A and B are shown apart, each in its own frame.
Chain A
Amino acid sequence: MRFGERIVVTGVGIVSPLGVGVRTVWPRLLAGGCGVKRLESLRGQTSEVAAPVPRGSEDGEFDPARCRLMAPGDAQTIAPFAQFALAAAAEALDSARWAPATDAERERTGVAIGSGIGSLADIVDASDTMRERGPRRVSAYFVPRMLVNMAAGHVSIRAGLRGPLSCPATACATGASAVSDAALLLMSGAADVMLAGGAEACIEPLAIAGFGKLRAVSTAYNASPERASRPFDAGRDGFVMGEGAAVLVLETEGHARRRGATVLAELCGFGLSADAHHITAPPDNGAGALRTMRTALRMAEACGHPFVDYVNAHATSTPQGDAAELRAISALAADRPAGSLPLLVSATKGATGHLLGGAGALEAAFTVLALHHQVLLTLMTSDCLPHQVLLTLMTSDCLHHQVLSP
């Protein structure tokens, strides 16, 4: 990436169907865990399965009372998708050890957190209220709860971040658009640090009905929910709705170095493109996907990273989308010299369902964690530590220095 400095990732925060917090989610993901359940609230829908964020006061569950950026009463004024964003942002800032305090630091730290839909449940409820009880009974909080940019807005307000504030809404690509938008802002010099991510909380009968009419959601696995989201498998029949949020702390390399931050990974490229083809379907050959991956790789190569080993696929478990993407990845593999190792491919939506506007950020976070732990493991190769100790080390946020000194 060039026209400014290198962009690095220094923090990650996750609220997902596999739990809340990196130290809960990452081991569960690696162990093959699954957050998909059959929900009573969806009974009678064509799809009765979804992947909700576990709520409760146990460790690894979503509890607004344990989020340092939330206050009592927020449940009344802040919609769930924005609450998830606040919790993910708090974890991301803490793991980056970035607590901007001066005016200058706050003004150079921005937020780009998108959502695919915003709060559909609030629109449904307000619409019912208006029809049944008249317009004067619509809540004053309806609009500020529902607006799609309020995840970004609340994070900015609660964390006191006064730099650039934006909210991409590119449907299921939203979280990834936020990361690339944030990178562009950093590269342009508009900020030193950006919180980038996506948030969604749309497990709602109307959403399931709408996606159901598009034949986009899985309907064949209501009796075996954990098998419903099955990217690339011959038995896949649509996506499973998930919810949650993920936030990355991105900053310029110079800023990270000056404050002595631990770098988790470098964001070394991105590709952005449009199919200009159809409202919901990609072309069968995945031409747009291929073009955008090639663009990302060209940028990475120019940054000194010519070798890609792994692709975290979008793969939502729909018959057409997964096949088109896999063909594109296969074509990308063919660009490389003869004799290259195959590209490793996985799709984590099998475990998390599809977070819609949160998906791109969640999967970017998983990709960063994979690369970071590789570095850790490479550094530790000759040691043989007890499994439990290592799991703790791997999932704590700043780890290798303690581990490396014998």
Chain B
Amino acid sequence: MTSDCLPHQVLPPTINLEKPEPADLPGIAHVTVGGAPADGRPLRAALSNSFGFGGVNVSLCFARWAPAGAPVTQDE
């Protein structure tokens, strides 16, 4: 792929993230550059978190829209 080819710009990045803290938490990969997942995986579903004063928590889950009957792939 060159820069003239398909731009794999999919995930929005966290900018200004130079030194993560807390560091080394297991099971997490920070996205610091906008684009497709570095490991090449498809995005199947995603959470969007929102928390507020008063202790309110909301987490929304969105899934990619697949045509009816399309198989759901296993975790690689």
- Which chain A residues have a beta carbon within 8 Å of chain B's beta carbons? 8-9, 27, 29-32, 34, 116, 170-177, 179-180, 226-227, 229-236, 263-280, 282, 288-289, 291-293, 295-297, 299-300, 303-315, 321, 323, 325-327, 329-330, 332-334, 336-337, 339-348, 350-351, 359-360, 363-364, 366-368, 370-375, 377-378, 380-381, 383-387, 390-391, 394
Given the known inter-chain contacts A288-B55, A350-B14, A391-B7, please indicate yes or no for A180 contacting B27, CB distance below 8 A.
Answer: no
Q: A32, B52: Cβ atoms under 8 Å?
A: no
- A247–chain B nearest beta-carbon distance, Å: 15
- B1–chain A nearest beta-carbon distance, Å: 8
Bound-state Cα–Cα, A372 to B4, Å:
22
Q: B45, A309: Cβ atoms under 8 Å?
A: yes
Q: A278, B55: Cβ atoms under 8 Å?
A: yes
Kindly list chain A residues whose C-beta atoms are within 8 Å of the C-beta of B41.
Answer: 309, 341
Kindly list chain A residues whose C-beta atoms are within 8 Å of the C-beta of B45.
Answer: 268, 300, 305, 307-309, 371
Q: B31, A350: Cβ atoms under 8 Å?
A: no
Bound-state Cα–Cα, A220 to B44, Å:
38
Bound-state Cα–Cα, A292 to B69, Å:
29
Given the known inter-chain contacts A32-B15, A348-B12, A371-B43, please indicate yes or no for A265 contacting B64, CB distance below 8 A.
Answer: yes
Q: B31, A344: Cβ atoms under 8 Å?
A: yes
Bound-state Cα–Cα, A348 to B57, Å:
18
Given the known inter-chain contacts A174-B52, A232-B20, please indicate yes or no for A296 contacting B60, CB distance below 8 A.
Answer: yes
Q: A372, B64: Cβ atoms under 8 Å?
A: yes
Q: Can you name 17 A-B residue pairings with CB atoms under 8 Å?
A: A31-B34, A234-B18, A265-B63, A268-B63, A270-B59, A299-B61, A307-B45, A307-B73, A309-B43, A333-B28, A341-B29, A342-B27, A347-B14, A364-B60, A384-B6, A387-B3, A394-B9
Bound-state Cα–Cα, A267 to B54, Å:
26
- Given A265-B63, A310-B47, 19 extra CB contacts under 8 A: A29-B12, A32-B33, A265-B62, A270-B61, A271-B57, A289-B51, A304-B72, A306-B72, A321-B51, A330-B27, A343-B29, A346-B11, A350-B17, A351-B12, A370-B11, A374-B10, A384-B4, A387-B4, A394-B9
- Which chain B residues have a beta carbon within 8 Å of chain A's beta carbons? 3-22, 25-37, 39, 41-66, 72-76
Residue of B nearest to A304 (CB): B72
Majority SS at the chain B contact face: loop
Residue of A nearest to B29 (CB): A342
Kindly list chain B residues whose C-beta atoms are within 8 Å of the C-beta of A304.
Answer: 72
Kindly list chain A residues whose C-beta atoms are within 8 Å of the C-beta of B53.
Answer: 171-172, 279-280
Given the known inter-chain contacts A30-B34, A177-B56, A351-B15, please indicate yes or no for A334 contacting B26, CB distance below 8 A.
Answer: yes
- A92–chain B nearest beta-carbon distance, Å: 15
Q: B47, A293: Cβ atoms under 8 Å?
A: yes
Bound-state Cα–Cα, A390 to B21, Å:
36
Kindly list chain B residues whose C-beta atoms are within 8 Å of the C-beta of A233.
Answer: 16-21
Bound-state Cα–Cα, A339 to B32, Å:
23
Kindly list chain B residues whose C-beta atoms are within 8 Å of the C-beta of A236.
Answer: 21
Q: B50, A172: Cβ atoms under 8 Å?
A: yes
Bound-state Cα–Cα, A276 to B52, Å:
12
- Which listed residue (A8, A116, A179, A341) contacts B75, Cβ 8 A? A341
Q: A177, B58: Cβ atoms under 8 Å?
A: yes
Residue of A nearest to B15 (CB): A350
Bound-state Cα–Cα, A313 to B60, Å:
11
Q: B55, A310: Cβ atoms under 8 Å?
A: no
- Which listed residue (B31, B47, B57) contacts A274, Cβ 8 A? B57
Kindly list chain B residues whose C-beta atoms are within 8 Å of the C-beta of A339.
Answer: 75
